[in-house]
Chain A
Amino acid sequence: MTAQEIQAKEATAGKFKQDLSGRYNLDKIFAAAAWTATVVSVVVLAWLLLTILMDGLETLNFNFLNSFPSRKAEEAGIRAAFFGTLWVMMTVAAVSFPIGVGAAIYLEEFASDNWFTRLVEINIGNLAGVPSIIYGLLGLAVFVRVLEPLTGGRSVLSGGLTLALLILPVIIVATREALRAVPNSMRLAGFALGANKWQVVWHHVLPSAMPGVLTGVILALSRAIGETAPLLAIGAVAFIRSTPDSLQSAFTAMPIQIYNWVGRPQEEFHHIAASGIIVLMVMLLLMNTIAIYFRNRFQQTR
């Protein structure tokens, strides 16, 4: 470099700001803001958990788990609601998984892009935002009333189908996202070997998308397990002194039982409501654990 060139270089360098402290300060402020947001959400959650645990742990014992509802708080238990929820959720999973994933596969992999599919897409997006009570009213009209000979009225099946409808849009949207995340090069590789659409989807696209699909399905099921309004609308009652023995049995579910207990004036019922919430949360955690286990297994086999 000649002296002239060096001089020219220094002249240009002078036009950039030499002091970096302003930029670093901004960096720190942003990090602090993000940290605060995280802490706030965690603290709120922890506080919630803590109050529930303090209220409910005392009354949470085997007797509570194994008893049916009762007018006396010390004799009342969650057994009917626990098994009711178990039955309903199994129905929901069995119905919503194949239908939701199937619809998503059709829309994402098979359907051509025309006004009809776009209309269906917009509708699914809107349905995901419909208040759950509306689904309850739909379930009441269709499953409880019209299809009573099949469902047995206010039964496990009616409740399960209603909640399945409720989470279908969520499952479809999540599954489509997961399918879209599969690189197109994989589809092309399959087609180039003479595979047809079904073979490409079944052997390559779906296995790759499975972790994402399962995450979406489990999130949707977690939403369904806590839903109270639609079950109230179809008329599931809290006071049931038996566990379901078929899809057509009358049932109660944990959110309904909890709602019922919280609404009573006696302090004791509020404690067992908290115990019920703990059971519900443990169930939810268990479901998520299973989902994570499956997701990891699918990721390993890739």
Chain B
Amino acid sequence: MQDTRPTATADKAITDTALKAEKISVYYGSNLAVKDVFLDIPRNEIVAFIGPSGCGKSTVLRCFNRMNDLIPSARVDGNILFDGENIKRLDPVELRRRVGMVFQKPNPFPKSIYENIAFGARINGYQGDMDELVERSLKGAALWDEVKDKLQESGLGLSGGQQQRLCIARAIAIEPEVILMDEPCSALDPISTLKVEELMHDLKTQYTIVIVTHNMQQASRVSDKTAFFNAQATEAGGKMGYLVEYDATETIFSNPQEEYTRDYVSGRFG
């Protein structure tokens, strides 16, 4: 085992990198969806993925917790190192406990608020006090005060913004190291969006966050680093995404190196 991962020892030393993508390409069937992405996600920072539709930012995000495994036709080439360890050698169930995910549309389970939080902990063999964990997770997601009197009511009875924070609470209940967020605010109103953004800011101290967003203001508000993806037409008539530029958010928005990036962040296309 040890000799089959030559890069592992080298990367273990760089402990401030949570996730490292090395030449990631994703195929759907024979279609190349994303090509050759190199990317370092620093620990305890927020990284935003921006770019036009179909540029593969969500696809790359789903590589980090191997959600693409669930799509039969999908194939991922290249390596992703998580804490220096190749995620292909990690058990996907274990990986997904350590790399949580929040989806575009709030998707609480059709169960009580309490059960929504407790489920993940229970299946992962949580031994501690469940009531305490539920309270801590809901507080962590800034939802406790709004729901503490109705924990046994259905999670579907909450508003959209509350549902999304419930999903975040559910994700942090299993104490992941990284939280992936796939356009978490696109289905929310501005006030709920603001709450989620504030929440991300608080979560940063404990978690590494990767967020895909269509909203450039959001990227500039919340993130420390920004990756700009673009899509180019392929000969087969499809679209292929690639990483154009990846830098500190300030640089991307004020002084990008690539012309594409400059055009995109200034609203000239996309």
Contacts and interface: CB of A to CB of B under 8 A. Distances in A.
Contacts of A112: 72
B218 interface: no
A203 to B, nearest CB: 7
Interface in B188-204: none
B107 A193 contact: no
Interface in B106-149: 107-111, 119-120, 123-124
Q: How large is the interface on A (under 10, 10 to 19, 20 to 34, 35 or more residues)?
A: 20 to 34
Contacts of A207: 110
Contacts of B154: 302
Interface string A110-154: 001100000000000000000000000000000000000000000
A188 B67 contact: yes
Nearest to B99: A192
B93 A196 contact: yes
B111 A188 contact: no
B103 A189 contact: yes
Nearest to A198: B123
B63 to A, nearest CB: 14
B219 interface: no
Contact of A194 (B70, B72, B96, B103): B96
A54 to B, nearest CB: 48
Contacts of A185: 103, 105, 107
A195 B72 contact: no
Contacts, number: 66
Contacts of A188: 67, 70, 103, 107
Contacts of A190: 109, 119
A176 to B, nearest CB: 18
Nearest to A192: B101
Interface string A145-189: 000000000000000000000000000000000000001011111
A194 B94 contact: yes
Interface stretch (B43-51, B166-174, B209-217, B257-265): B166-174
A191 interface: yes
B72 A193 contact: no
A193 B97 CA distance: 6
Contacts of B97: 193-194
Contact of B107 (A186, A194, A199, A203): A186
A203 B118 CA distance: 12
A241 interface: no
A186 B109 contact: yes
B188 to A, nearest CB: 16
A199 B97 CA distance: 14
Given A112-B72, A113-B72, A195 B123 contact: yes
A204 interface: yes
Given A112-B72, A185-B103, A193 B119 contact: yes
Contacts of A208: 110
Given A186-B109, A196-B93, A302-B111, A191 B70 contact: yes
Contact of A192 (B94, B96, B108, B156): B96
29 contacts: A112-B72, A183-B107, A186-B109, A186-B110, A188-B103, A189-B103, A189-B107, A189-B108, A189-B109, A190-B119, A192-B65, A192-B67, A192-B101, A193-B97, A193-B119, A193-B123, A193-B124, A193-B170, A193-B171, A194-B97, A195-B120, A195-B123, A199-B123, A203-B109, A203-B119, A203-B123, A204-B109, A302-B110, A302-B156
The 5 closest A-B pairs by CB, nearest first: A193-B120, A194-B97, A192-B101, A185-B107, A302-B110
